[in-house]
């Protein structure tokens, strides 16, 4: 039923062709990683009226886009910390652990999604040895990014106003410790802000007009 509902949601907004493509990858991805993260969430009851202006309805990044972005990483990247901003139910955390990250962080403003991410963390702790997953129910605008973070995953978590402040937090972290940093950005609607901040786009894709992704780096 959850696949049908999501198929109808995607089909209604973006067309049946994309819906078929997305659901095919959803079924494969959920089975491959042994998780259940499909579906959308309305965040109106979870965040303040002011924050609703800047945050879209929650839905997990599609497996095609996430896989393409993770496939751009190099072995060194996996030795750093992965930060998933707007981690939701923990899909990207599960994928990151499967790709080989042993230090992962997820932050989300929604208490409900944060609790779902905790459940995902417990599942991953049972699957992997020597893995660390830190979660925070926190606003990205005030989150202090650890100096170990070398990869940040974004799936269009908020609008340009909050993104500007989050980029400021990233720059603050880099001033404390200069290091290579990669941004894996699915549906990169605020990409220009990262370019303006001195990041360089090193890879990108467009699939079926609507699925887009960008890798942004600052050496």
The percent of residues above 90 in pLDDT, for the chain, comes to: 80
The whole-number pLDDT of residue 5 equals 85
Q: 44 near 52, Cβ under 8 Å?
A: yes
pTM of the model: 0.94
User: pLDDT tens digit string along 162-178?
Assistant: 999 999 999 999 999 99
pLDDT of residue 59: 86
User: Quick one: pLDDT at residue 51?
Assistant: 62
The predicted structure's pLDDT at residue 100: 98
- Note the pLDDT of residue 6: 86
Give dist(CA 197, CA 195) in Å, integer.
5
b/e map 36-57, b = 16+ CB within 10 Å = ebbeebebeebbeeebeebbbe
Q: Which of 134, 123, 139, 129 is nearest to 48 (CA)?
A: 139
Q: What are the structural domains, with CATH classification, of the chain?
A: 61-218 (3.40.50.150)
Tens digits of residue pLDDT in 8-57: 888 898 899 999 999 999 999 999 999 999 987 766 666 666 665 656 66
């Amino acid at each position: 039923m959850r696949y049908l509902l999501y198929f109808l949601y995607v089909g209604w907004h973006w067309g049946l062709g994309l819906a078929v493509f997305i659901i095919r990858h959803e079924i494969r991805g959920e089975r491959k990683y042994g998780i259940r993260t499909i579906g959308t969430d309305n965040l109106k009851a979870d965040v303040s009226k002011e924050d609703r202006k800047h945050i879209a309805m929650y839905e997990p990044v599609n497996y095609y886009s996430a896989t393409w972005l993770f496939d751009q990483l190099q072995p060194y990247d996996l030795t750093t910390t992965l930060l998933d901003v707007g981690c939701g139910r923990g899909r990207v955390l599960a994928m990151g652990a499967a790709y080989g990250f042993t230090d992962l962080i997820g932050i989300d403003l929604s208490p409900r999604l944060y609790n779902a991410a905790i459940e995902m963390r417990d599942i991953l702790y049972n699957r992997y040895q020597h893995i660390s997953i830190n979660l925070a129910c926190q606003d990205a605008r005030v989150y202090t990014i650890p100096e170990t973070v070398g990869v940040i995953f974004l799936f269009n978590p908020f609008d340009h106003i909050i993104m500007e402040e989050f980029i400021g937090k990233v720059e603050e972290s880099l001033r404390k410790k200069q290091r290579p940093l990669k941004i894996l950005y699915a549906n990169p609607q605020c990409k220009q802000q990262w370019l303006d901040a001195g990041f360089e786009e090193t890879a990108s894709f467009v699939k079926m007009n609507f699925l887009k992704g960008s890798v942004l780096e600052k050496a």
